[in-house]
Structure 1
Amino acid sequence: MDHWNEVRAALAGQYYAGFKMLRQCIEVCPDDLWNEAPWPRSFWRIAYHALFYAHFYMQPSHNNVNLWDKQDLEAVALWEDDDENRPRKTEPYTKEELLAYVDHIIGVTEETLAKVDLGSQDSGFPWYPIPKIDHEMLSVRHLQGHVGQLSELLMMRGIDIDWVSTHPSRRLPEKPEA
C-alpha cells in the first residue's frame, strides 16, 4: 500500500471515531438540553455545525461538493463574523435527523476521501491556503473540538460518552506474549 493510501485510511479511521463519538453525544442528549444555550450555540446547532463542516471539508474542493439532501446552510454558523455571515434562526434538526446525517457521512467517508489528492499543495478551499493533508487534519481537529464541547455539556449533566480511538478495522492485533 502506498503511503497516501495508508494516510487516507488513517484519516478515515479518525473521522469515523469522531463521528461515532458525536453520534453518542446526540443519542444521549437530554431533550431539554437539545435547544438549550444562548442562541446560536444550542446543542443541536453545535452538532450540526460539526457534522456539516467535517462532511464539507473532506470533499476534494469547494467546487466538488456532494452535500446531504436535507442540508440547511442557514444553520451552520455558530457566531457572527459580519452581516453576511450572521447566524440565522432556523428550525432545529431533530435528533433522528442528525443521527441519520451522521450515519450518512460515516457511509460515504471512505469513498469521499478516495477522491481527495492528499499530496496536493492546495486544500481545495481558497480560504484555507494550506496543503490538503493539513486541511484534512484541521478538519478532524475541528470535529473533535466540537465533540469535546458537546461532551462537556453532557458531563455537566452527569452523562458520559465512550472514547472511540479509530475504526475497528484499523486496530492493530495484540502482540503475542514472548
Structure 2
Amino acid sequence: MSDHLKHILTSQFQAALAMHRECLVKCPPLHWDSTIGKYPFWHVSYHTLMFVDCYLARSNESFVLRPEFFPAGRAELDEEYPSRRFTQPELLAYADILHHPQLRDTIASETAETLQGPSGFSHLPFTRAELHLYNIRHLQHHTGQLAVFLRRLGVSTGWVKAGW
C-alpha cells in the first residue's frame, strides 16, 4: 500500500478513535450505566473497542487477548455481555492502546498483497482492505450512538476531521 493511502487510513481511524474517546471523557459519571438501546453506555464502548482491537489483528486466530480487557478470555468475544463492568479510566486506557501502537503498527505493516488477501475472519468474507473500512464504520456507528446519547443530556461532542 502506498504511504499516502496508509496515512489516509491511519488518519481516519485516529479521528474516529478520538471522537470515541471524547465521548468516554464527557460521559457524566451518573450516566456511565445508563442504557443506549438495551446496553449500558460503558458496554457500548467496550464492545466497540473490543472489535476494533480484534479486527486490527491479522486473523481471529492471531488476535491476542489483553487480560485486563478480556478477563474471561475468548468468552468475552462470544457472550453478549462482558464478564464484568469496565470503568471510564479502563476504557480510556483501552482507546489509547488501540490508537498507539496497535493502529499505527497494523496499518504500517500492510502491503498491497495483504490488503488484497482475505480479511482473516471467516464471518467477514471480503478483503483485508475492506476489513479496515468495515472496522472504521463499526467504530463510527457506535461512536455516533454514544454522541447522540450525550447530546440528549446536553453534553456536546466535536467532530474530528483527521488524526488524533
Same fold (TM > 0.5): yes
- Aligned partner of 1:27 in structure 2 is 25
* 8 A contact 2:36–2:149 mirrored in 1: no
> How many angstroms apart in 1 are the aligned matches of 2:28 and 2:83?
20
Cα root mean square deviation, aligned: 2.1
- Name the residue aligned to 1:71: 69
How far apart are 1:138 and its partner, in Å?
0.7
Q: Which runs of 5+ in 2 are unaligned?
A: none
**Aligned partners of 1:157, 1:8: CA distance in 2, in Å?**
37
Summarize the Cα distance change of 1:54–1:122 in structure 2 as closer, same or farther, 3 Å threshold.
same
Q: Does 1:130 align with 2:123?
A: no
Q: Which runs of 4+ in 1 moved over 4 A?
A: 73-76
Closer, same or farther: CA 38–119 of 1 in aligned 2, 3 Å: closer
Cα deviation, 1:52-103, whole Å, max 9, x if unaligned, reads 1112112222222233341225555xxxxxxxx5523632111000011111
Distance in 1, Cα, partners of 2:21 & 2:76:
19
Q: 1:31 to 1:75 in 2, by over 3 A?
A: farther
For 2:37 and 2:84, the matched residues in 1 are separated by 12
Taking structure 1 as reference, are residues 38 and 165 closer, same or farther at Cα in structure 2, changes over 3 Å only? closer
AA aligned to 1:166 is: A
1:114 aligns with 2:113: no
Alignment of 1:1-178 (within 5 A): 3-37=1-35, 41-72=39-70, 74=75, 85-88=78-81, 90-108=83-101, 109-117=103-111, 118-167=114-163
TM-score normalised by structure 1 residue count? 0.79
Which structure: greater helix fraction? 2
- Which has the higher mean CA deviation after the structures are superposed, 87-96 or 42-51? 87-96
Q: Distance in 2 between matches of 1:161 and 1:151?
A: 6
In 1: Cα distance, 2:110 partner to 2:69 partner? 22
Distance 1:99 1:161 in 2: 16
Task: Report the Cα distance in structure 1 between the residues aligned to 2:10 and 2:52, rounded to whole angstroms.
Answer: 11
Looking at structure 2, the residues matched to 130 and 107 of structure 1 have their Cα atoms a distance apart, in angstroms, of: 26
Residue identity over aligned pairs, in percent, reads 27
Letter of the structure 1 residue corresponding to residue 80 of structure 2:
P
